[in-house]
Amino acid sequence: MKPRVRIAPSPTGFLHVGVGRTALYNWLFARRHGGTFIVRSDDTDLERSSDEYAEDILEGLRWLGLDWDEGVEVGGPHEPYRQSLRLDRYREVAEGFLGEGKAYRCFCTPAELEKRREAAMAEGRPPGYDGRCRAIPAEEAAARTDPFSTRFAVPRPGETVFADLVRGEVRIDHGNIDDFVILRSDGSPTYQLASSVDDVDFEITHVVRGEDLLSSTPKHILIGEAMGGPPIAYAHLSLLFGPDGKKLSKRHGDTALRAYRERGILPEAMVNYLALLGWSPGEDETIVPRQVMQDRFDLGAVSRNPAIFDAAKLEWMNGVYIRNLEAADFLERTLPLVEEDLGRELDGAEVARLAGVAPLIQERARLLTEVPEQVRFLFVDEVPYDEASWNKVMKTEGVGEVIASALDRLTVLPEWTTAAIEETLRAMLEEKELSARKGLQPIRVAVSGSSVSPPLFESLESLGRTRTLARLAGVAARL
């Protein structure tokens, strides 16, 4: 049987990097085995759900290149794939359970439950529901008119055992599971019910999800069995931790995938990095093409150890991916960022100018977002001078002379090429017995506004003679 897997994000926040990894593992598993990858929306918590979050989640999946075969937006044989549109179905299942004695009505009020919970804790007993309404005869319960929630009647005594594909055998004594609520008194389903019903109805074969849901799994298995569904295989992935070994949180930096997208991480690098958070293709490979992942991904080889999410490593990996891009591809990805930064489109000559310096930046960049800042000086009429750079470089002795001399030399340069520019400026250094730092940094700051810019000679060629001379003259006047 071909696997059918799913992710079931709740649209109550931006797509978390951990959910991105879970999605990737599900997708890889489906693609490796010719299965079906499904995206459903666990949007029963209407108060905390929003369209903005729902859209962010799908956008993040698309950005990672994780296409789904069934689910929200794309549809499929089990539509709708949104829990908020399936509420009648959950009630139907819960009512079926009531009729079969697999669930019962619980009339305990929240205040009573709380009081008993406190008392149990004080006496050192487990604080879970004590099962008292289970003893009410079904007809008597059905005849009552006071509000009730519906609880699943956990078989007792008993135990649920399953072979987790990552963690190995998991065994839970039913003594540790109380009779949990499946429908609240307002008729709304709990996560436990909705998730289990969806997994059965959507014919899910493997549930691959975060370890935080491990304690829910026996409940899901019990509901699935009560529905007469076929067994489902489970794999619980370790959670993500920060480099300090603490659970990944905002304290470590961004946890939303979108932040990395906005920061100029390439989707290929992100996928590669996420894939290795708990899995490896075999040897000590760090740069793993997607096709290799697809060919080799194996749930059984996923580690149960905590996975460390380290943004610095991700940025390093991104640098490798940036360097590996074709020059034209790099240009294509950076052009929109540059145009957005400038607030206008570049014309053909300007794109050529960008193309001239792009390879020099590509060599060094770790993030695509470094590019606009570095090339801005090529496309603005007047460069703003970075104060720190100005103070550091332009206030030293002899700077005026360097600028004047460069201006003279560059004015009469027969051809405006990188090689010719380099030759004449190096000759100037020699003549004046200046180090490159002393002699060239002032020119760099004068034309680019900052002491951080792409290599100088190429930059001047790209900027063109007229602009270069105008900037040097402007600075000479300002000094």
Which residues form the interface with ligand GLU (CB under 6 A)? 8-10, 42, 195, 209, 213
**Closest distance to ligand GLU from the beta carbon of 8 (Å):** 4
What's the rounded Cα separation, in Å, for the pair 464 and 466? 6
**Closest distance to ligand GLU from the beta carbon of 267 (Å):** 22
Nearer to ligand GLU by C-beta: 10 or 448? 10
Query: Rounded to whole angstroms, what are the CA distances from 142 to 148, 178, 321, 352, 406?
Result: 10, 22, 64, 78, 95
**Gyration radius of the chain's alpha carbons:** 31
- Nearby residues of 448 by Cβ (< 8 Å), 6 or more positions away: 377, 383, 459
What's the rounded Cα separation, in Å, for the pair 400 and 402? 5
Nearer to ligand GLU by C-beta: 45 or 315? 45
**Closest distance to ligand GLU from the beta carbon of 108 (Å):** 27
Q: Which of 246, 247, 250, 432 is catalytic?
A: 250
Nearer to ligand GLU by C-beta: 22 or 450? 22
Which residue is at the shortest CB distance from ligand GLU?
Answer: 42
Taking the CB of residue 331, how many other CB atoms lie within 10 A of it? Answer: 18
**Closest distance to ligand GLU from the beta carbon of 49 (Å):** 11
What's the rounded Cα separation, in Å, for the pair 153 and 133? 10
**Closest distance to ligand GLU from the beta carbon of 213 (Å):** 6
What's the rounded Cα separation, in Å, for the pair 227 and 195? 13
Please, what sign has the CA dihedral across residues 198, 200, 206, 208?
Answer: positive
The C-alpha angle with vertex 366 and arms to 361 and 367, in degrees rounded to 5, equals 90
What's the rounded Cα separation, in Å, for the pair 434 and 438? 6
Nearer to ligand GLU by C-beta: 236 or 467? 236
What's the rounded Cα separation, in Å, for the pair 140 and 177? 26
> Looking at this protein, which amino acid is placed at residue 417?
T
Nearer to ligand GLU by C-beta: 213 or 479? 213
Please, what sign has the CA dihedral across residues 58, 61, 63, 67?
Answer: negative
Helix 418-432 with 436-448: angle, nearest 10 deg: 130
408 near 473, Cβ under 8 Å? no
250 is catalytic: yes
What's the rounded Cα separation, in Å, for the pair 12 and 51? 9
Nearer to ligand GLU by C-beta: 200 or 445? 200
**Closest distance to ligand GLU from the beta carbon of 22 (Å):** 8
**Closest distance to ligand GLU from the beta carbon of 232 (Å):** 11
Nearer to ligand GLU by C-beta: 53 or 457? 53
Catalytic residue numbers read 250
